[in-house]
Amino acid sequence: MIKTLSAIGNSLGLIIERPILELLRIDKDTELEVRTDGDALIIRPLRKEKLERVR
């Protein structure tokens, strides 16, 4: 899938389609880990058990 960024105020955002959100069980309250490996942007939902280890 190829996506482009959308302007949201003074920022840019990535719109994620509902089927992907449902597959990954992501909703508007899900915390996401956003990082890079130097070449790619990696976005991963944080689950409760992972949040306890990260914090």
* pLDDT tens figures, 3-55: 999 999 999 999 999 999 999 999 999 999 999 999 999 999 998 665 556 55
Res 46: pLDDT: 92
Res 26: pLDDT: 95
pTM of the model: 0.69
Res 6: pLDDT: 98
DSSP 28: T
Q: Going by DSSP bridges, is the β-strand pair 41-45/32-36 parallel, antiparallel, or unpaired?
A: antiparallel
CA gap 34, 13 in Å, rounded: 13
Q: What CATH topology corresponds to 6-54?
A: Pemi-like Protein 1; Chain: D (2.10.260)
Res 28: pLDDT: 94
Mark residue 9 as left, alpha or beta (left: phi above 0; alpha: psi -120 to 50; beta: remaining).
Answer: left
